[in-house]
Amino acid sequence: MSDLRDLYQQTIIDHTRRPRNFRPMPDADHHARGHNPLCGDRLELYLKLSGDRITEATFTGAGCAISTASASMMTEAVKGRTIAEAQLLFEKFRILLTTPIHENVSLDGLDKLEVFGGVREYPVRVKCATLAWHTLEAALKRDDHEAKTE
Ligand code: ZN
């Protein structure tokens, strides 16, 4: 368990210091804003799709370490996936963060995202970690409204 916690902290720090895909995308064909009022995290997400496959995902914004790291890793995780695959990944990610660890559910495919299982110990942080994913859902629906974690 302590190994996982170390990995969790190292991964969060790494992605907070050097967020991947952190830039606006002027020619994005999907775009949404996300806001987590509980913590003050804000982000904008930009997507490019080819058919139903996400070919590019970038973000900008300002938030706490967990929201930034989560957005960074989410953009990496969904790139190259279909919309359905990305939605399934969000579903598993949500289960990872909110379901007690002893409940045996299959979370295959989360890969690196599994480090966010550490967030489970800090329920107030779950919304920080899921903000990017809620914003992804809004962007895929072409929803111009702001995605909220509430
Ligand atoms: Zn936050």
Query: Could you list the pLDDT tens digit for every one of the 150 residues in the chain?
Result: 467 678 888 999 999 999 999 999 999 999 999 999 999 999 999 999 999 999 999 999 999 999 999 999 999 999 999 999 999 999 999 999 988 765 666 778 898 898 898 888 888 899 999 999 999 999 998 755 677 776
Whole-model pTM?
0.90
The Å distance, Cα 40 to ligand 1 centre, comes to 6
2-143 sits in which CATH class? alpha beta
d(CA 37, CA 128): 10
What per-residue confidence (pLDDT) applies to 147?
77
What per-residue confidence (pLDDT) applies to 84?
96
The Å distance, Cα 67 to ligand 1 centre, comes to 5
What per-residue confidence (pLDDT) applies to 115?
87
The Å distance, Cα 51 to ligand 1 centre, comes to 33
The Å distance, Cα 97 to ligand 1 centre, comes to 14
What per-residue confidence (pLDDT) applies to 139?
95
